[in-house]
Structure 1
Amino acid sequence: MAAYYYLVSSLPELRSDGEMPLSYQEFLDLCVSTVSEDKYRLLRDLTLSSTDGPLVKEWNRVYGSLTKELNYQRSMKLGKSYPAPANKDFMTAQVVSSALAAKDPLEAEKIMLDYEFQQLDELVGLHMFDDYVLFGYAVKLKLLERQGCFDHDKGSSEFRQLLSEVQQRVYNL
């Protein structure tokens, strides 16, 4: 297992309630001269649902469980059938339930993001300057990148526009 003392110690802290301190491409640029070609390829091709790479297989189980629980609870809420998750985890179910009860979708995403960061921290555990830390950091960056796609003002504007169109159609009836 390679040690990345300088690389890991030079990376800015990532927080679930913070901004992205660097883009994923900037992160890759920092990694290119330090990690092996194979590890770099895995980092370059990394998605939130990837299964290859250190820590990534474990993360995939956590993320898959969270996704299945979310789909299950959403379906139940809508009165639709959906298979219950095979290995139901109480904490995951509770987090998803809290997210679905949130006052708006952005708050729900933040609840989920906090939980995902916590799960990644647990997966990284006591690793310090190795592949686990590097890939855990990469997944957190991917999560923040996804979170950055949500813009409250833009979402509110889109919602008001859609609501206005629906109201206009109802009025025209």
Structure 2
Amino acid sequence: MGSYYYAVASLPYLTFETEDVPGREEFLDICRQWGTESDLEILTRITLEPDAPGLHPLLDRYQRFETGLRNELVKQRSQNLQRDPQDYIHSDNTGDDHTAVSGLSEQVRAAVQAPTPLKADEILDRLRWQFLDELEIGQFFNVQQMIVYYLRLQILLRRNSLTKETGREEFDGHYQKVRSQMQEIQNDNGVQA
């Protein structure tokens, strides 16, 4: 069992507003120094995507929450689009879609109704952060605390990558792609551009 006293002491304290964070490799290098091989095996496979069941019970709890959050988003967005959500709902082998978390429906509704996609994303990330707060209760200097830290770090790294510049680049790329497709359609139909 790893002892993460020094690892925790050497990592910066993370809040939802933290901008200057260590990178993934920097975090994993610190864990390599103080943890066990089996802990490192778990940590290196952690992502925000709910696709690695069975790595660790605490991570399984987070992944059930994330699945429920995404399923609730599917339900509410499908309702707004008047579509059947069942094709997009992910359930476990018992049929549970993990959306029965108290208050989740109302909080997701706030994200769906947010004025901008960035604000919606912030609301959802704050929900994730709040759940991680719950998971961290009673975890001190152990792999569980490192799992929570790494999930938070990934949230912040993703959030910090959302800049005006990258957004503009993405928009321009999509715009050019649509414009090219429109040009091809016009050319195929014999329309002068």
Give the shorter-chain TM-score range.
0.7 to 0.9
From 129, 134, 138, the counterpart of 2:141: 129
1:31 paired to 2:31: yes
Equivalent of 1:148, from 157, 160, 172?
160
Structure 1 distance, partners of 2:133, 2:103, is 15
Return the alpha-carbon distance in structure 1 between the equivalents of residues 81 and 136 of structure 2. Answer: 36
Quote the residue 2:114 is aligned against. 102
Aligned ranges for residues 76-95 of structure 1 at < 5 Å?
76-83=79-86, 85=97, 87-95=99-107
Task: Tell me the number of residue pairs that the alignment of Structure 1 and Structure 2 aligns.
Answer: 170
The Cα shift of 1:91 comes to 1.7
| TM norm structure 1 | 0.84
1:25 & 1:86 partners in 2: Cα distance? 32
Aligned pair in 2 of structure 1 residues 75, 138: CA closer, same or farther (>3 Å)?
same
Three-state SS of the structure 2 residue aligned to 1:17 is coil
Q: TM-score, normalised by structure 2?
A: 0.76
| CA displacement 1:94-116 (0-9 Å, x = unmatched) | 22111111111111111111111
1:141-161 deviation digits (Å, cap 9, x = unpaired): 122223234223432464477
Larger relative contact order (C-alpha < 8 A, sep ≥ 6)?
1
Cα 1:33–1:116 shift into 2, 3 Å: same
Structure 1 residue ranges without an equivalent (≥5): none
Shift in CA distance, 27/54, structure 1 to aligned 2, threshold 3 Å: farther
Structure 2: how far apart are the matches of 1:70 and 1:43? 27
The 2-side partners of 1:16 and 1:144 are apart by 7
CA RMSD in angstroms, aligned pairs only: 2.6
Q: What secondary structure, in the 3-state scheme, does the structure 2 residue paired with 1:32 have?
A: helix
Using a 3 Å threshold, how does the CA distance of structure 1 residues 103 and 152 change in structure 2: closer, same or farther? farther
Identity %: 29
Separation in 1, partners of 2:20, 2:134 = 21
Query: Counterpart amino acid of 1:162?
Result: Y
Q: Structure 2: where are the runs of 5+ without partners?
A: 90-96, 184-191
